[in-house]
Structure 1
Amino acid sequence: MIEAPLGDPIHHLLTPEALRHPAAAWEPFRHREGLWWSEVLDSWVATSLADCSAVLADADRFCSDWRKLGNDVPDSRLTVQILDSPEHTAVRAQLVRAFRALDWDGVRDRVAENVERRLAAVADRAAFDFMAEFAVPLALDTIVDVLGVHPPEDHRFPVVSAQIVDSMDYALRPETVGPGRAARAALAELTGQWLDGRTSGGLVGHLAAHHDSGRVTTAVLRNSLRVVLHSGYESASRLLGNALLACLDSPGSLDALSGGVDDTALQELVRYAGPVQAEARGCVADTEVNGHPVRRGQVVTVLLAAANRDDRVFDDPHSLRLDRTPNPHIGFGRGPHACLGAPLALLLTRTALGALAGLPRPLRLLDQPRFRRNATLRGLERLDLGWG
């Protein structure tokens, strides 16, 4: 068995230094060939772009649904993220149809108006917290607009959402499992109320009107809608915060976006600063990854962030190059479980960064950014900015 380098560097991913400086965080992983074993995660770990892509793309050999390995999975965890085909195909198809039915021109217009309104609110301020006063409320406004519902009135929503993210690091922080399970149940109850409320617009309205209960149970639809709410809120706000900080850390990058954020720049920001750092898959039959044997029942942890800095694929991987092409990153995953809400996160980031880059006064960091203590979904807690 190939042991982890440097003891087990997984331990270090929750340190403030690792969260602040991804280049240093992923350095111990970048030059690994094949899989290695992590005692901390009790799993094999894949770090190269080739190995990570192979595992994510092969749903026949590597499952997301742990029931295939004989594990008990709480009903609250049965979502489009966890299920495999044919259940996954059925619920994802319903969600995709609902997304396609949205008035995307209207969504884009409302996001642009929201961005301008929030920029105007801080224009005369000497300092402001970008996350609390811009990125987080913008992401929440956008996802509830897409869903066609009112924002959650419960002031605990940010806390509940954060508990779910914390529990994604359960191997590193076992104490987060219970709160995370309760938080998922609370949000599923909320989305269930929305589905029962006969909302006529947005994603919820479309799903309520076109729900095929013969193919997708109400519980799975409710849970999957909870995933859309949570991912739209957390992933989008974290991508926006990470991307802005990456630009501020790389002199001239924000200025380069003043004419607009094109697809090439946007994809590089996802590669370099995307929030999703890792995913896990279970091996359903004895197999190999790049010649390395993996047995049925074993877990493979895929380190997307390490793969996105694989210098066998990306030249100068620790530099932000907004004109990088080709750019075969896996920042949104790969295969059947690739991120369903990626277009929404990209829309939000494109619109907000384009507006920020076009401001007459440059933004500057006023203090060291503070990151949330999350290894799986990297994101900022506070980003204090002023005008240069």
Structure 2
Amino acid sequence: MDPILDLARPSILRNPYPAYARLREASPVFWHELLGSWVLTRHADCLAVLTDGHRFASDWRRAGEDVPAPLLSVQTLDPPEHTAVRHLLLDGFRAQDHRGRQEELEREIADLLAALADRPSFDLVGELAEPVALRSVTAFLGVPAPALDWFVPMSRTVVDGMDAGLWPEKHEPAVSARAQLAEYAGGWLADPPKEGLIAHVAERAPDSGVAETVVRNSLRAVLHAGYESASRLLGNASAALLTTPGALDAFRADPATAVDELIRYDAPVQADARVCVADTELGGVTIRAGDPVTLLLGAAHHDPLRFDQPAELRLDRTPNPHLGFGRGAHACLGASMAIRLAGSVLGALARDHPDARAVAEPIHRRNLTLRGLDRFEVTLRPRVGEEART
């Protein structure tokens, strides 16, 4: 079978890291015909591409590609255009009342977990990770959260489209879903809220030199990327903690270090892409200008040349130079927000519900670019015959 398509087999999707290791051992840099791209599997090579904006572009117009205006955003532009919109958003991030919002969110998380604890079991993805992630990112933006049953399927369709290089039939539905998201976000600048990131950006955007379409597209990207990265991180991390003996107890010792390890161990972002704009040698292979490059970050996170015993979940691992939020000019804007959210949810689980455990195997979605769960049935109750720990 094709070594990349093989990653979507259910048996491998549950744990793709041995398959990544086989790819890395066979050829750490190789050409994949179906993707029409070079594929990188080592940490050092992925890091080199992420941090070399001169030779590897996020803006495919630098390689002569036509990029439609609706796709131009902080995610797809390179400096100097990228610099202006990134600074606009970063200033907005820094201006928010992070502590006040965090305290409010932690109260909501505690209340939600208390309600879920009364039930025999529940779906951690649909009833905890997704609603909490959506509430968190929309509160940060300053807008009401849309209905989950409308937003989640649309967001998932956009993510499915990220794998359209392997499954072309996913492209058109993703284009349609992205257009719906754009329409939803379109009125934010015309009628901004009084508080939150959108309010800050709307006030300063006219004097920023950034085109309104780019500002609008970037705010839409913050909504979608913030939700997806946070919800998938919560699902993946919870699955790791609740299926690894002793992990929930170990998490309490140093939550910040533990979250970093959970990101490395089973990161939401498994792949990223760039286009080469100047001939470069990587891993003994010459990558020519115009060649696409796919970075298998999931493989990089389990590279034994960079991480000791990478298959082990070590919640005290330090240093931990994972690439889960990217590096360089395009490092994730909302990384700190996602880390705080994961620390709050997982910390509440470990502190207030030490008997939490899986009651069924986690079920993964067939996504290779963004890794996440479709469903994960858990309980917060002690086992029958056991008293709850305090």
What TM-score, normalized to structure 2? 0.94
Kindly tell me: are residues 36 and 72 of structure 1, through their superposed partners in 2, closer, same or farther at Cα, counting changes over 3 Å? same
Residue 113 of structure 2 corresponds to which residue in structure 1?
Answer: 119
Give 1:249's aligned residue.
Answer: 243
- Amino acid of the structure 1 residue aligned with 2:125: M
Deviation track 1:160-195 (CA, whole Å, cap 9, x = no partner) reads 111110011011111111111122222122222112
Q: Which runs of 5+ in 1 are unaligned?
A: 1-6
SS of the aligned residue for 2:189 comes to helix
Taking structure 1 as reference, are residues 251 and 30 closer, same or farther at Cα in structure 2, changes over 3 Å only? farther
Q: Contact conserved, 1:260 with 1:354, CA < 8 A, in 2?
A: no
Contact 1:11 1:40 in 2 (8 A): no
Q: Is the 8 A contact 1:79 1:220 kept in 2?
A: yes
The reply to whether residue 48 of structure 1 matches residue 42 of structure 2 is yes
Q: 1:351 aligns with which of 344, 355, 377?
A: 344
Distance in 1 of aligned mates of 2:148 and 2:235 = 24
Structure 1 residue 25 displacement after superposition: 3.6
1:274 aligns with: 267
Farther-moved stretch of structure 1 (81-90 vs 285-294):
285-294
Aligned equivalents of 2:151 and 2:176: distance in 1? 13
Alignment check: 8 A CA contact 1:278 1:376 kept: yes
Aligned CA distance change for structure 1 residues 315 and 193 (closer, same or farther; 3 Å): same
1:132-211 maps to which residues of 2 (within 5 A)?
132-153=126-147, 155-211=149-205
Counterpart amino acid of 2:250? Answer: A
2:270 touches 2:369 (CA, 8 Å); kept in 1?
yes
User: Offset of 1:28 from its aligned partner?
Assistant: 1.8
Checking the alignment, whether the CA contact within 8 Å between 2:243 and 2:358 is kept in structure 1 is: no
**Cα deviations by residue, 1:335-386 (Å, 9 ceiling, x for unpaired):** 1111111111101110111110113551121112111111000001111012
Report the counterpart of residue 30 of structure 1 in structure 2: 24
Distance 1:274 1:107 in 2: 25
Paired AA for residue 16 in structure 1: P
Q: Which residue of 1 aligns with 2:289?
A: 296
> Residue deviations 1:201-255, cap 9 Å, x none?
0001001111145521111111110110001111101001100111122210111
The two structures have a TM-score, normalised by structure 1, of: 0.95
Report the alpha carbon displacement of residue 56 of structure 1 after superposing the two structures with TM. 0.8
* Matched letter for residue 355 of structure 2: P
Distance 2:188 2:19 in 1: 41
C-alpha distance in 2, partners of 1:72/1:339? 25
CA distance in 2, matches of 1:331, 1:217: 29
Shift in alpha-carbon separation, 1:338–1:360, aligned structure 2, 3 A? closer
Asked whether the equivalents of residues 254 and 316 of structure 2 are also in contact (C-alpha less than 8 Å), the reply is no
Q: What secondary structure does 1:235 align onto?
A: helix
Relative to structure 1, the CA distance from residue 32 to residue 323 in structure 2 (aligned partners, 3 Å threshold; closer, same or farther) is farther
Helix, strand or coil: the match of 1:194?
coil
Partner of residue 5 from structure 2, selected from 5, 11, 19: 11
Distance 2:36 2:241 in 1: 36
Are residue 68 (structure 1) and residue 93 (structure 2) matched?
A: no
1:51 and 1:306 map into 2 onto residues whose CA distance is 11
Partner of 1:365: 358
Distance of 1:41 and 1:23 partners within structure 2: 20
Aligned identity (percent) is 50
CA-CA distance at 1:66 after TM superposition? 1.0
1 CA distance for matches of 2:261 and 2:363? 23
Instruction: Output one character per residue of 1:262-284: Cα deviation in whole Å (capped at 9) or x when no partner.
Output: x2211111100210000111011
